[in-house]
Amino acid sequence: MIVNEKIALDLGLKKSEYKEICNLLNRVPNITELALFSAMWNEHCSYKSSKIHLKKLPTNGDKVIQGPGENAGVIDIGDNDAIVFKIESHNHPSFIEPYQGAATGVGGIMRDVFTMGARPIANLNSIHFGSTQHKKTKNLLRGVVHGIGGYGNCMGIPTIAGQTCFDDSYNGNILVNAMTLGLVNKNKIFYSKAAGLNKPVIYVGSKTGRDGIHGASMASAKFDDKIEEKKPTVQVGDPFTEKLLLEACLELMKDDSIISIQDMGAAGLTSSSIEMASKGNLGMELNLNKVPCRELNMTPYEIMLSESQERMLIILESGKEDKAKKIFDKWNLDFAVIGKTTNTNKIEIYFYNNKVVDIPIKFLSDKAPEYDRKWKKTKLPAKNKFGKEIYKNLKIIDVLKKILASPNICSKEWIWQQYDHTVMGDTIQKPGGDAGVVRVHGTNKAIAASIDSSADYCFAHPMTGGKQIVCESWRNMISVGAKPIAITNCLNFGNPEKEKNMGEFVECVQGIGEACKYLDYPIVSGNVSFYNETKDKGIKPTPSIGGVGLIKDYKKMISMGLSIVDNLVLIIGKTEGHIDQSIFAREILNQKKGPPPEINLFNEKNNGLTVLKLIDEGFVKSAHDISTGGLMVAISKMCINGNKGINIKKPDSLINYFEYFFGEDQGRYLIEIEKKDFKKVKSILEKNSVYFNEIGIIIEKNIILKNELDVTIDELSKKNKTWLIDFMSK
């Protein structure tokens, strides 16, 4: 095939990029070489539009062992234990083929984790779908959920937490973000940096097929009416093979055989080989005739770009080949020596004794474009002026029932019941709470993890929205009694070539960075997903934040369910009654304009650390952060989870009742304490200058607000739990 500009454009390269490739090589590349450039220079692999901004994020901390730049981030949790974790997107594949797209997203993120020597201990996910009225939403939701469950359940890894949202901005482009945590001895972490000359390059796992070719490029492309034609770019997963691969890799990792290891994810053999060589400042020579293929007559182009799943690339110490092969033979996996490291600083690829690729490594990695794209700043919207008349015909009970049954507030039990969240026997906080929690097996420690996004806030004002998501993650850790340690992020945005979209990205990243720095909550890994749009209609800016925290003694873990009648419930943090961008404004007032609630980072940190102190000293019996839906939704969920009621005190505030109970002011918590501890708790709160109020007393079965509300927990629970079940059964 004669390579020209048109072919380059078809592969997702820009005219200027193709010209630069020709200039670098001082010749026209052949089709295989051009394919390597198209893979390594796309957004998904090179971060060419985001790199300049990501560099500004805080990535260091006293618990950080490995930050961004590896397969996953690593944090120290003491006693030589470390947690490896990361979040990745699989948005485009999941929209095209929901089951396989979601399944291979889960499989891919688990490989990122066990590539580093960690055994996966928990999965999470953040999934976003279009309007519940859209014709595709129900089938997409069903396919994605079955794909996530099908892969994770077969692997025997619990899915402990998640998030599901609906919004019409995702009608043409759903989001599927998968997160995995793994446990590793901090002295047995494996990295992807190649080292040593003439070291054998080993291919292990499944055979290479034609599935997933151009998967990485497709992940950086816009959708149009021909979306169905892209199905061949979606990878096909086999969780049973991945389980074998996991065990084989961990067995090989028990000694000093492995120099470096990398999973074949986006761009397959291309990215894994080039990234390993680039990090080690080495060259690599590959013989594609030795690559195990499951289809006949595969070309070098197809072999290098295939994204067939369940594959790894390993650089071994010389002389360890036979020992390693025996392990992979035992697990019934392919094992092949396909090349060696060299001192040429080139990627050199042979096929039937012909050299089909001869490119300096740095041209594919260091010379990848880096764009400082133009961007447009988002102005803070003016506050809405809600007159008293808009509340005149509203009743709190009616509002509460409607919000509890709304798509973005209702219970997602229908979803998480399809995931195995108890396998491995260490899950101590199931899905549905502020964060999932798993014990560190054989110790008193536990790891908390949550995943959050807030597209409405980010769309209204990206800077504030970016801060809010980090703070929400922080509060979720605090609410279960965990010290927040670090986060991973998946940044889902539209077309970065549009100034508005790029501005949303830049300002969200700025907000995330500011909050992380202030809270000492560093970012250790992540992913950027651009071009989430169809027919030029992009998604709302949707950064997902995966938070991880440590509970030193799992017996001190806190759940959200109210526990004991006659205990007091306190609200921590001040209530101003911010209605703009709230669920109340959207669902009840049909108002989508206005600014998100303000973020006070001092209060977030101070309130959170003080609540954590109260938990650590044993005063808190249950807790829940106040977020989407406001105070009344938060207290209702605590009641539903604990099957207890509450007699709510009339607020002393002059704020309108609806604004007080449904406003989404930030930095707030609800905590349950015993009456006898009130003076001690009050003293600690006052000493730390934390604003608080007594909100009510726990009773049996009903939520009561004098002259305004008297409803059974059973009635609210039914409203909250049945909407999604009914939706999916129709």
Using the Cα atoms of residue 267, residue 273, residue 278 and residue 284 in order, give the sign of their dihedral. Answer: negative
- Cβ neighbours of 708 (radius 10 Å): 13
What's the CA gap between 572 and 564, in Å, rounded?
19
Residue type at 148 in one-letter notation = I
Give the active site residue among 53, 90, 92, 214: 90
Q: Retrieve residue 572's tokens.
A: 């921590």
Q: Are 358 and 30 in contact (CB under 8 A)?
A: no
Q: Retrieve residue 711's tokens.
A: 């409803």
- Cβ neighbours of 20 (radius 10 Å): 18
Which residue has tokens 């921590």?
Answer: 572
For 182, 525, 558, 615, the CA distances from 77, given in Å and listed in that order, are 12, 17, 19, 19
Residue type at 178 in one-letter notation = A
Q: Retrieve residue 536's tokens.
A: 């030029």
Q: Retrieve residue 278's tokens.
A: 């680039």
Q: Are 271 and 216 in contact (CB under 8 A)?
A: yes
Q: Retrieve residue 478's tokens.
A: 């605090």
Q: In terms of DSSP bridges, do strands 523-529 and 283-287 run parallel, antiparallel, or are they unpaired?
A: unpaired
Q: Which helix (H) or strand (E) holds 293?
A: none
The SS3 assignment for 726 reads: helix
Active site residue 90: yes
What's the CA gap between 724 and 405, in Å, rounded?
8
Q: Which helix (H) or strand (E) holds 308?
A: none
What's the angle, vertex CA 177, arms to CA 626 and CA 581, rounded to 5?
Answer: 35
Active site residue 146: no
* CA 700 from centre of chain: 38
Q: Are 387 and 619 in contact (CB under 8 A)?
A: no
Q: Are 444 and 553 in contact (CB under 8 A)?
A: yes
What's the CA gap between 333 and 329, in Å, rounded?
6
Which residue has tokens 């009616």?
Answer: 398
For 376, 506, 531, the CA distances from 499, given in Å and listed in that order, are 5, 10, 13
Q: List 546's β-bridge partners, or say none.
A: 451, 488
Q: Are 445 and 654 in contact (CB under 8 A)?
A: no
The SS3 assignment for 61 reads: coil
**Would you report the helix, strand and coil content of the chain in percent, each value rounded to 5?**
40, 25, 40
Q: Which residues contact 602 (CB under 8 A, 6 or more apart)?
A: none
Residue type at 280 in one-letter notation = G
Count helices and strands in the chain by DSSP H and E runs: 25, 28
Concatenate the DSSP letters of all residues of 702-723 into one string.
Answer: EEEETTTEEEEHHHHHHHHHHH
**Catalytic residue numbers, as ranges:** 44, 90
